[in-house]
Amino acid sequence: MGKKRIVKNLLVLFSSFFIFFLGFQSLSNLQTSMNSYKGIGVESQVLIYAASMISCILLPKLLIKTIGCKWTIVSMFLCSVPYFVSNYKPSFGFFMPSSILMGIAIGPLNTAGAFYIDEMSLRYYTINTSDSMETILARFFGLWSFFLENTQIWGNLISYYILRPARIPLTNHTNNTCGINFINNLNGNGTNPNLQPPSEEKRYTLITIYVLSAVVAASVMVFFMDKLDNDIQREEGGQCKAVLYRLLATAKHAISLDQILLLPLSIFFGMELAFYTGEITQAYIACSWGVHRVSFVTVCFGVCGALMSLLVGPLVKCISQMAVLILAALADVSICIVLFLWDPTPDFKTMYFVVAGVWGMADSIWWSQLAALYSLMFPNNREAAFSNLFFWSYFGFFLNYSYSSYFTVAVKINILLCFLLAGMLGYLIGQVKLKCSVRKMYVSIPGEGDCL
């Protein structure tokens, strides 16, 4: 496979994920505020990530080995359509089962995407040996992160222009509890006019766009991306035996020392994005400035994240991956301190964008470099490694959303910081251990060949 073909496949993959997450991520940002009544939005997120935890352990290897990375991704795109449709008129009877199906899709979707990029990186490295494998992985996963962060720009611009009212009153927030002491009201926060959900007409328009995003993403993948001929392998002994074997392999990987050291950081990876989409968007932006402003401010999150995604590859090459991850940790700690001290008010609009922008840059680093880190540390067990990465990150999402309606923002920030500090400590110990040992050779999947 030549360089042009590798680049073409990566661009198709990145574009498809961009189109899909344009809808999914923008909708996730709005769940706690747009579907706040009886906590249905938060509960849907809990179910999504609970199902994702299970699916990323049981399904990715089975689907990838049976139908390949390409068709795994296409199938998961289409499985998400009922979830988008259920947002037209959310009810527990349809919304919750479709959220579970969405969660089942997310696990194999992200694992197959990471696995495909990892394989393309390996093939690119065999052609272009002037760059190290670490640099190539950082560059390609950074580009993936760039496309995903761009969904925060364009998806939220769409949401903002559709949801904004004709006349936007600047509501005084002094009678409302926003910021550090905010706690979600399961009755829909009806006492705060800033948290009123959008009209039915605007909701229908927005959700229709999101449904189309999933269908278009699947279509682009079907017609333009090559499938690998070395990721489909038939298992002896039937599928049940194969699933059991993969489950045991993933569980065995989960108790390895290197994986245990990365466990707190992997959980934090999910918690930090869930904290933004579930807490910062509602407690700081929507509460004090209006639901429609959530998308407007989150555009800054996407812009800064996308720019950092382009810079992270050169940064890793210049100052090392460890320094870049420490930079992301310091950025998150700084913003947590700001959130403790800041009383959100529209009189000081700049702070909304500072918080969103810095958090977006850190999120971009976590997203790209943790995937690259797993690929480097577990070169001969990539599928089990990626399954563990996404399992624990989804556990982070699940954990954050599960207590979202019961604790104040102050308590949630303290929990988040505990996981960050424990995660960085485990990461640094793991890196010292790795540098003191003989690094494993990075090997390809058996039976490597060109795409069909």
- How confident is the model over 366-395, as a mean pLDDT? 81
Whether the predicted pLDDT of 34 surpasses 60: yes
* More reliable by pLDDT, 56 or 232: 56
* More reliable by pLDDT, 410 or 291: 410
- How confident is the model over 15-27, as a mean pLDDT? 90
Note the pLDDT tens digit of each residue in 91-114.
Answer: 888 888 999 999 999 888 888 888
Note the pLDDT tens digit of each residue in 145-187.
Answer: 788 878 878 888 888 888 776 555 445 444 457 888 887 665 5
Averaged pLDDT score across all residues of the chain: 81
User: DSSP characters for 425-452?
Assistant: HHHHHHHHHHHTSPPPP--PPTT-----
Closest CA to 448 of 302, 251, 233: 233
Percentage of the chain lying above the pLDDT 70 cut: 86
Helix locations, 276-341, DSSP H? 287-289, 292-319, 321-341
pLDDT at 433: 78
Whether the predicted pLDDT of 452 surpasses 60: no
The answer to whether 61 touches 383, Cβ cutoff 8 Å, is yes
Residue 411 amino acid letter:
V
